[in-house]
């Protein structure tokens, strides 16, 4: 039997009596749109060849900077916390006067 642990809090997730939630995160470099959208006169095969040549020059570290995919198993409580604040931003506190 496979045992799962919450990747956030470290608690064991009992498959028989509770639901395990999976978060898949994909981060990749954004490719900007063509600056000349009306220019259909470009040679697409030449553009593909240039792109492939640049990709050959990339090392593994550059590859990790362009694309990364990770997967996390979460328990119910950590799933709820994740959905409330998926980017993990600090919540700004509102200051009230003391009157």
pLDDT of 37 > 70? The answer is no
Asked if 82 contacts 24 with a C-beta cutoff of 8 angstroms, the reply is no
Dihedral through CA 42, CA 44, CA 48, CA 51, nearest 10? Answer: 20
The residues spanned by each domain of the chain are 4-28+43-84
E strand or H helix that includes residue 52: helix 44-57
pLDDT in tens, 1-29: 889 999 999 999 998 999 999 999 999 88
Tokens at 40, concatenated: 């259909």
Cα–Cα distance for residue pair 39/45, rounded to 1 Å: 15
pTM of the model as a whole: 0.62
């Amino acid at each position: 039997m496979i045992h799962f642990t919450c990747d956030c809090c470290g608690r064991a997730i009992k498959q028989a009596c509770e639901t395990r939630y999976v978060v898949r995160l994909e981060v990749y470099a954004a490719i900007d749109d063509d600056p000349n959208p009306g220019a259909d006169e470009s040679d697409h095969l030449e553009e593909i060849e240039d792109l492939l040549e640049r990709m050959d020059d990339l090392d593994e570290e550059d590859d990790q900077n362009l694309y990364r995919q990770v997967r996390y198993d979460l328990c119910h409580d950590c799933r709820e916390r994740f959905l409330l604040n998926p980017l993990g931003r600090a919540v700004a506190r509102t200051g009230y006067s003391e009157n």
